[in-house]
Structure 1
Amino acid sequence: MAATVAGVAIVSALFTFVPWLHAHGLYLRDAVRADGEWWRVVTAMWVHLGWKHWLTDVASCSGLLLLIAREARPRELLAVLTICGVATQVAMLQMPSIGWYGGLSGALHGVALWGGLRLLQAAGLSRVIGVAMCVAVLVKVWAEQSWLAAIVFDPSWGFGVVRAAHAAGAVAGLACWVLQEWWSNRRR
């Protein structure tokens, strides 16, 4: 699991602190839609808007991965993280008010909900943690009310927090869990 956490930290650090990668990795709606720069849908989750943003997302990702590690393999966790990140960017394409985006927060909301649902299927303390994770994600997404304002400026960050990314990521995480359950039940 340490290698997975290190990999996430290194890839996101490269896209955050290497100027060329940052400039060409950030989600820019016009660049994707008008100029055909579709790779930005995949790379935007790795780009952060400064060291504080990067550190917060890497720490959150590390914590989530460690909480879920007993119930999921690292490859599975990375797959869900990537799927939720790409799904978040695809959702952004449908929202004209979001001109640019970077960060793992959308994907992390998806991993948190997916992981919480996975932990619900375990026993003991894992199940309690799963309930807490699911409730926390659902309450947070509901409280943010991204359907009323997709972006809200947060002075403590110094930029607009794209709350719609959190909701889109959570929906993607739920979809990953549902598809995974369907696939495993189909194989029985």
Structure 2
Amino acid sequence: MSIVAALRRPLGEDLSGFVRMLRQLDVPHRVSEEAGEQVLWVPDEQLAEDVRGLFQRYPQGGEAQTQTDPGRPPAWRGVAQQLRDSPLTALVLLLALLVAGFTSLGENHAILHWLTFQAYRVAGDYAYFTPWLESLQAGQWWRLVTPMLIHFGWLHLAMNGMWYWELGRRIEARQGSSMLLGLTLLLGLLSNLAQFWFGGDGLFGGLSGVLYGLLGHCWIFQLLAPSAAYQLPRGVLVMMLIWLLVCLSGAVDLLGFGAIANAAHVGGLLAGCATGLLGGALARARR
């Protein structure tokens, strides 16, 4: 098998942090000097693409930037670069933040009822839901996915936003913005349908169904076609699956933290595992 040049960088550039990270991720590579440049070699083109994407996100191996910029502090410069590298991830989080503001985190029913899976009206202490097929027949197809943007509290929004930022950036770097958009819409649709199918009429929302789908996608994809971008930190998968089981047990409801959309979580996870199986198998076949 012929080796492939994944990166060509100037001789004066310090690649030690990035090379150290590749070693930690068990990525086979070597660095040589060719025609006045540092060349980082890997065994095949697919792995070269992974390494290039990883370098765009973490050129210093995940370490803090040390260059000085009198116009902007280093921390802000790092965030700005990540936003440029992950535009779709940032856009979804911005939409979720705007929806949280306009709906007052689920308290403003005048706006909220336009984004829920079913249209509804509030009369006194009761909410009366419109059959979902009637809304679809009226052309309100956006309801199939917009519940993923609804959140019912700052903690709900912060936790989901943090995990979408982590998983979304990985997929956007590895498979592109179009793939992340397609996965987000598909997983949002399927998790919403699962929640409505098993939960019936009611208010539900949040990115968590999508998050479990993205987690399943990265998990299965990584098993079939190992990629540095999809190598999740140790314990993340176990922690998320344990949390899913805790939610399914009903313990969270009993503790008074509110109802959990368990069907959306399970539906999203199963759908994400399916997309990871398909994507990973195709990537493995290309290799």
TM over 0.5: yes
- Between the aligned partners of 1:76 and 1:125, the Cα distance in structure 2 is 14
- Between the aligned partners of 2:229 and 2:176, the Cα distance in structure 1 is 19
- 1:101 is paired with a residue whose SS is coil
Is the 2:170–2:229 Cα contact (8 Å) retained in structure 1?
no
Residue 62 of structure 1 deviates from its aligned partner by 0.5
- 2:206 is paired with a residue whose SS is coil
Bigger helix fraction? 1
1:18 aligns with 102
Is residue 155 from structure 1 mapped to residue 256 from structure 2 by the alignment?
yes
| Counterpart amino acid of residue 179 in structure 2 | E
- Between the aligned partners of 1:40 and 1:126, the Cα distance in structure 2 is 31
Distance 1:67 1:184, change over 3 A: closer
* Deviation per residue, 1:164-184 (Å, 9 max, x gap): 211111011112223334666
Is residue 101 from structure 1 mapped to residue 191 from structure 2 by the alignment?
no
Identity %: 22
Residue 57 of structure 1 deviates from its aligned partner by 1.5
Q: 1 or 2 for the larger relative contact order (CA 8 Å, sep ≥6)?
A: 1
Q: Which runs of 5+ in 2 are unaligned?
A: 1-84, 104-109, 120-128
- Between the aligned partners of 1:47 and 1:85, the Cα distance in structure 2 is 12
Is the 1:71–1:118 Cα contact (8 Å) retained in structure 2?
no
Residue 85 of structure 1 deviates from its aligned partner by 0.8
TM normalised by structure 2 equals 0.53
2:71 aligns with none
Residue 52 of structure 1 deviates from its aligned partner by 3.0
TM normalised by structure 1 equals 0.76
Distance 1:144 1:97, change over 3 A: same
Distance 1:170 1:154, change over 3 A: farther
Give the length in aligned residue pairs. Answer: 182
- Between the aligned partners of 1:83 and 1:34, the Cα distance in structure 2 is 19
1:4 aligns with 88
2:169 aligns with 66
Residue 133 of structure 1 deviates from its aligned partner by 4.6
**Structural mapping, 1:35-184, within 5 Å:** 35-37=134-136, 38-97=141-200, 99-120=202-223, 121-122=225-226, 127=231, 129=232, 132-145=235-248, 152=253, 155-156=256-257, 159-181=258-280
Distance 1:72 1:83, change over 3 A: same
* Deviation per residue, 1:43-100 (Å, 9 max, x gap): 1111111333222211221022234455332221222122111101111231244522
